[in-house]
């Protein structure tokens, strides 16, 4: 069941620029990632594309190479793209030193994610285990934005720093609990992953490819079968 928008829904800006798909999105189902734990109920993933009308393939190499041998991070269109703050607020936590796996392969990354999730559940102490490199922004006492899986060394803000909508805060990467280079974004009612509940949101504006042409979307959420741009 997709998220229902109401007067309590956060209104945010697009955190990335360019051409994207959202394979896990509250626009199609809630909880979007299959769980309400860790504040993930309304989380959304952004994966960059190069062709709005093609195979929705996010990398340059062949599918066969990706599956059989794995491909380099640099083969992904989104890796290293700028990530922007979707809201005004204050940075209250960052992680910037988690290594990225240099070869991306669906099987090895699946096992990494599985083991990383188990480790976090057992320890409940180290959010970077699942979030990788991240920026956590406080909007108010009970509203927080998490932007995760950033590239190592790319975080461009510091704890205590105020940020504004559209400000560059880091670069898209493949750190932590990630199956391929992408941006994971979620909104929560607590900074503590262990007790946080997800908050619904809508994006102020972007465009959707429909029937071969671009259509404006205002205060909406993309679904997992749409190609969008900003």
Checking if the pLDDT of 71 tops 90, the result is yes
| pTM (global) more than 0.85 | yes
Q: Is the pLDDT of residue 201 over 80?
A: yes
Judged against a pLDDT cut of 70, whether residue 1 lies above it is answered with: no
Which residues have C-beta within 8 Å of that of residue 163, sequence separation ≥ 6?
Answer: 85, 88, 89, 90, 91, 137, 157, 169
What was the pLDDT predicted at 16? Answer: 98
Smallest CA-to-CA distance from 174 within 157, 147, 151, 202 is with: 151
pLDDT, tens digit, 9 for 90 and up, residues 135-187: 999 999 899 999 999 999 999 999 999 999 999 999 999 999 999 999 999 99
User: What is the C-alpha to C-alpha distance for residues 40 and 26, in angstroms, rounded to an integer?
Assistant: 10
Structure tokens at 23: 């394979």
What is the per-residue pLDDT across 27-59, written as a single tens digit (0 to 9) for each? 999 999 998 988 999 999 999 999 877 789 999
Give mean pLDDT, residues 191-197: 90
Residue 114, Cβ density class (10 Å: 0-12 exposed, 13-18 middle, ≥19 buried) = exposed
Residue 57 is predicted with a pLDDT of 94
Provide the pLDDT for residue 101. 93
Please compute the mean of the pLDDT values over residues 55-82 and round it to a whole number. 95
Please name every residue paired with 138 in a beta bridge, in sequence order, or none if there are none: 90, 144
Nearest Cα residue to 198 out of 28, 45, 86, 40: 40
Q: Which residues contact 118 (CB under 8 A, 6 or more apart)?
A: none
Q: Where are the beta strands (DSSP E) in 19-150?
A: 19-21, 44-48, 71-72, 82-84, 89-95, 103-104, 133-140, 143-150
Task: Read off the pLDDT of each residue in 186-211 and give the average, rounded to a whole number.
Answer: 94
Residues 3-31 pLDDT 10s:
666 667 999 999 999 999 999 999 999 99
All structural domains of the chain with their residue ranges: 10-81+106-131+177-229
pLDDT digits (tens, 9 = 90+) for 79-131: 999 999 999 999 999 999 999 999 999 999 888 888 877 777 776 666 777 89
Res 122: pLDDT? 73
Determine the pLDDT at residue 118.
78
């Amino acid at each position: 069941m997709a998220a229902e928008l109401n007067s309590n829904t956060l209104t945010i800006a697009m955190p990335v620029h360019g051409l994207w798909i959202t394979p896990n999105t509250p626009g199609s189902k809630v909880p979007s990632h299959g769980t309400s734990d860790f504040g993930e109920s309304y989380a959304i993933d952004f994966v960059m594309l190069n062709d709005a009308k093609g195979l929705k393939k996010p990398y340059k190499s062949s599918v066969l190479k990706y599956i059989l041998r794995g491909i380099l991070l640099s083969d992904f269109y989104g890796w290293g793209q700028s990530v922007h703050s979707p809201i005004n607020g204050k940075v209250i936590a960052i992680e910037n030193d988690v290594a990225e796996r240099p070869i991306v392969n669906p099987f090895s990354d699946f096992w990494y994610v599985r083991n990383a999730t188990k480790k976090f559940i057992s320890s409940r102490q180290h959010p970077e285990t699942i979030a990788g490199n991240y920026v956590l922004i406080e909007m108010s006492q009970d509203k927080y934005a998490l932007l995760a899986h950033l590239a190592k060394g790319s975080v461009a803000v510091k704890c205590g720093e105020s940020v504004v909508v559209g400000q560059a805060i880091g670069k898209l990467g493949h750190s932590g609990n990630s199956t391929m280079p992408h941006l994971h974004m979620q909104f929560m009612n607590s900074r503590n992953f262990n007790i946080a509940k997800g908050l619904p949101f809508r994006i102020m504006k972007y465009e959707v490819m429909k029937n071969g042409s671009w259509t404006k979307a205002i205060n909406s959420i993309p679904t997992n079968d749409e190609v969008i741009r900003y």
